[in-house]
A and B are shown apart, each in its own frame.
Chain A
């Protein structure tokens, strides 16, 4: 193999706690300098293959690997959540982490740091706090950290799925501009913008087998694979969710937010940092309608959603009715909130208990089997919520937060990073809830997510 090439031979992987392998006997060659896009539905094993190349399987991630994985040369990995990859307080030192590991002298380290920061278009200077960067900037910082080790093979795991389209395009441009002759392997659900920059596509089918491997032209000519976000294809029809699963147990009042300002203060012993997360925000949530709060990454969409539903208290402005002073149970009775990170919400040790938890606490009856069947999790009833794949967790978090049929429904970026089936299910749920009389609000940068009213931040 030449530098930058990678090879799988009969590679299989079974994570701890699963009966069956999630990757089964994959044979794959990636040649040096090739730019490869890997696609497939949630849980098909795309991230697993990247982790295998990065040497994390069987070490950091527990499970049983068989077969061979070989990489020639140095690799750099960018994960979906940039916060996990940041190791230092200031951006200069963060980018320097790789060169330090390579044992480079100080002068060369800083030369590479400055070059990498310039390559990704971060012009703040070395002393900027990493915590002061927006999501898109953090992702570019992580990319700079990878470029600074001058890798032969660059692996990107859904690098833009958490970003709005303008920021995603900045990150993509930064990747393409800085790549040079390096090998690229990128995983992404909404892959259309990558097609101009890659020369090969690999489609993984559920079960971790390769369903397609060929050029972009051949892929497009083949008509693609069901369940993938094919270029130009309209978004899927929202799933038809029975109204009695989502019909509010009590009719909600409209929620009116006027001139809201929300300030977040981060305190540490060494100092405190104050940031204005939202200012001058006006919106209303009406029964029977879907409100979408949209805006670029970091503009305060999530905060707006939380302020309207009583989860954050505004510094100035009014929300009517004011839910922020309600006790937890009273608040939960009237509203349901689906956070962007599904794992934050898990309270129990099985999927079944998780779905019933809030409803049982409030004395509301819930048809757990019907809900699990609807979202395709019926076979995972006894499984631990943490053992599910990302898309499965997203679906579970949604029905767990909303199974008690609240009148106010708030969802934070519910459709990002999802395959088409999960997307259709999520969109189907909240549109059905609105039809049944709930007041629904989304924080979203997905232009396709169905809505009745929009507020732009």
Chain B
């Protein structure tokens, strides 16, 4: 299929620019961004803290991410969760608007940064760092990394399933009910394909020594560069911001 092939840079991001840092820092730094935001979110107890924390993450996203569309998509999903929290807190919590908004923004800080950075994880490097830096057990790490690798293929399988259904005359019209039922059937078909692919993969991996891998090694080292330490510090600072503001009495 690949008669010509080109790896396109992100729009507006040349190699070495600040905005592709997120693709160059190691995966544990990315996970740290998500983990620190989660911890920091618990300190969001007032509107000023909430606005400061959300603002800090938004500025970081503006400066450091190579693409707009994906973080906005994640924002839409976590924003939906936040809005439902705002509404239920407002209804059940004495109709106090400020408390409700703070609760909603807390959920946003808890979920949004993590959901964005997880999209930039490289499964192979995640395996290297999880096993060598965090000393997690080698076999589950290798299996997890190989499983994540398969995610990339799901988009293609989805397209293939959609195409076959269109040719069989069962793709939905414009009715929302038909579309919902169709998504369900597609989701199930994708699951079946994923499971069948996974069992073939498992056979192939076991036949390459995975079944009996007692002491596994890693072909590439898990190196921490200066950029990684800068990224880690930034993750900690962003996560610590609401905590510091909380203790400062805001």
Residues of A bordering B, CB below 8 Å: 51, 54-56, 60-61, 74-77, 79, 81, 83-90, 92-93, 96-106, 109-110, 113, 131-132, 134, 142, 145-146, 149, 155, 264, 266-277, 279, 298-300, 303, 306, 309, 311-312, 327-329, 331-333, 335-337, 339, 341, 343-347, 357-358, 361-362, 386, 400-401
Contacts and interface: CB of A to CB of B under 8 A. Distances in A.
B10 A271 contact: yes
Interface residues of B, number: 69
B1 A269 contact: no
B205 A344 contact: no
Contacts of B169: 328-329, 331-333, 358, 361-362
B205 A87 contact: yes
Q: Which of A90, A267, A328 has the most CB of B within 10 A?
A: A328
A90 B124 contact: yes
Given A103-B214, A104-B217, A269-B119, A274 B204 contact: no
B201 A103 contact: no
B5 A132 contact: yes
Contact of B5 (A89, A273, A300, A400): A273
B16 interface: no
A76 B172 CA distance: 45
B1 A277 contact: yes
B134 interface: no
A328 B4 contact: no
Interface in B134-165: 142, 145-146, 149, 152-153, 155-157, 160-161, 163-165
A105 B208 CA distance: 17
B17 interface: no
B208 A97 contact: yes
9 contacts: A60-B203, A100-B213, A134-B1, A273-B7, A332-B168, A332-B170, A333-B169, A344-B193, A401-B167
Contacts of B4: 275-276
B209 to A, nearest CB: 4
B59 interface: no
A149 B173 contact: no
A158 B73 CA distance: 43
A100 B200 contact: no
Contacts of A98: 208-209
Contact of A275 (B2, B160, B210, B219): B2
A358 B167 CA distance: 9
Nearest to B173: A327
Contacts of A270: 23, 119-120, 122
A103 B164 contact: no
A109 B208 contact: no
Given A269-B70, A271-B7, A328-B165, A76 B208 contact: yes
A332 B163 CA distance: 11
Contacts of B205: 85, 87, 97
A331 B185 CA distance: 20
Q: Which of A93, A155, A327 has the most CB of B within 10 A?
A: A93
B209 A74 contact: yes
Q: Which of B145, B202, B219 has the most CB of A within 10 A?
A: B219
Interface in B20-70: 23, 67, 70
B77 interface: no
A75 B168 CA distance: 42
B215 A103 contact: yes
Contact of B6 (A103, A273, A346): A273
Contacts of B207: 54, 75-77, 146, 155
Contact of A300 (B3, B168, B185, B213): B3
Interface in B179-227: 185, 189, 192-193, 196-197, 199-221
B208 A269 contact: no
B123 A89 contact: yes
A87 to B, nearest CB: 4
B12 interface: no
B117 to A, nearest CB: 10
A61 B198 CA distance: 11
Contact of A60 (B10, B165, B206): B206
Contacts of A106: 217-221
B171 interface: yes
